[in-house]
Amino acid sequence: MRTFFLLDIDCFFASVEMALHPELRGKPVCIGGLRTDRGIVSCPNYEARRYGVRTAMPLRSAARILPSDAVFLRGSHRLYGEYSEKVMAILRDFTPDLEQVSVDEAYMDVTGCLHFWGHDPSRMAEAMKERIVRECGLSVSIGVAANRVCAKIAAGVKKPDGLVIVRPGTEREFLAPLPVETIPGVGSKTLPHLHTYGIRTVGDAMAYAERNARPDDRRPPLRPERLRTFSLCRFIASCAVPSDEAIIPHDHVEKSISRDMTFGADTADRERIGATLYYLAERCCKTLREDELTASTVTVRVRFVDFTTVQKQASLPLSSSNEEDIFAAARRLLAQLCVPGQLIRLVGVKVSNLSAVEGSQMDLGVTAAEKFSALHRRLDGLQSRYGYGSIRWGITCGVTERREEGNDTSV
């Protein structure tokens, strides 16, 4: 069992200014610019936060809600960098095992140093806090836990000047009542998704993960959107285990998405088979995009008239959710699986090796792939509103059969 500290300086930029200019203490202070400047607040002190000012709020909006004695400062990054170095140097006196993760924040693995403090993490943490106040004039908050995620959350729950220790074995109790977005990695993209499943607290996510775990039972595998929720909840639930190694990342979900089609009459028509292959690749990609996933493996399956079935898979150089990439690979595979003129009964496309897309790089439109992604998302929107036939790629016009078989996903 290891012991981690996460230390974060309270309203860092503003605290440096208050340490250097004690007359600012007790007043609302905003760093980022003057009250009439364009731009945003980079750090409001806790007095300013009491009025509702938050990081990234426009300075002019902050000026409207704060009283006239509020102080607005442009700030000095050089100065804050110096203070950051001073604090990190103090922490290195306590432990060599330090990982600075931002200008005002560091993880420390103190497992090997705790015996100097009678194995009492609170004594060690109090000594750190005391030295930082004495030498830098800054208050900090510290979270202590047996894994980094709990330490990070613990540091945030009693700010400012907080010290929260999550004793090993109490992680579940500590996390369960907190809003699910407290877990690092649960952000603006994933939160609405969890809310649609009624998951609001970490405890809700834990219960969902337990309800949907499928250890080799006979229940059918989860559908993609449920699988994504399960994967997220399983990650959230794993944060309650007193070990960093036990945390299951949620962006490497083992599953696949596949679409098959049986032709009304066996066919050897290359154009029709190609069109169907594109159509199936497109259906897989729509699901990938819906679930915010990309795939890096493509498999093609072909069933001949005598029911023999063959399949072949290939890896993509870059994982993708665009049908151009999936189709290009699928077409090459198809050519390897059957010879021209051979009658085919069924063709299928499967995408696997899936990973989650976080953020909105899809909308940047910088590279060709991103432009295609943006275009596909527009088409997805139109087709879901007006029907698939309302707008479609020319290549799929010959596809009249829609008897899709299978829709399998497996954990």
- Which of 10, 37, 97, 251 is the binder for ligand TTP (CB under 6 A)? 10
Q: Is position 56 an interface residue for ligand TTP (rule: CB under 6 A)?
A: yes
Residue ranges in contact with Mg ion by CB under 5 A = 8-9, 12, 102, 104-105
In angstroms, what is the C-alpha Rg of the chain?
28
Task: Determine the Cα–Cα distance for residues 338 and 261; give it in Å rounded to an integer.
Answer: 16
Residue of 255, 209, 200, 196 lying closest to 236 (CA atoms): 209
Angle at the Cα of 178 from the Cα atoms of 176 and 180, rounded to 5 degrees: 95
Structure tokens at 84: 């950051």
Fill in the per-residue mask, 155 to 174: x = in contact with ligand TTP (CB under 6 A), - = not in contact. Answer: ----xx--------------
Helix axes 12-20, 77-94, angle to 10 degrees: 100
Q: Is 37 an interacting residue with respect to ligand TTP (CB under 6 A)?
A: no
Angle at 223 between CA 210 and CA 286, to 5 degrees: 140
| 267, β-bridge pairs | 344
Task: Say which entry of ligand TTP, Mg ion, none residue 58 contacts (CB below 5 to 8 A, set by partner kind).
Answer: none
Q: Minimum CB separation from Mg ion for residue 104, in Å?
A: 4
Instruction: Confirm whether 105 is a catalytic residue.
Output: yes
Q: To the nearest whole angstrom, how small is the minimum distance from the Cβ of residue 124 to ligand TTP?
A: 21
Total residues contacting ligand TTP by CB under 6 A comes to 15
Amino acid at 191: L
Site membership for ligand TTP, residue 100 (CB under 6 A) = no
Site for ligand TTP contains 383 (CB under 6 A): no
Whats the size of the chain, residue-wise? 411
Judge residue 218's burial from the number of C-beta atoms within 10 Å of its C-beta, 0-12 exposed, 13-18 middle, 19 or more buried: exposed
Q: Which one from 17, 105, 292, 323 is the annotated catalytic residue?
A: 105
> Which position among 3, 8, 233, 346 is part of the footprint of ligand TTP (CB under 6 A)?
8
- Contact pick of 4, 6, 7, 9 for ligand TTP (by CB under 6 A): 9
Q: Answer yes or no whether residue 13 interacts with ligand TTP by CB under 6 A.
A: yes
Chain positions contacting ligand TTP, by CB under 6 A: 8-13, 42-43, 55-56, 103-105, 159-160
| Residues annotated as catalytic (active site), given as ranges | 105
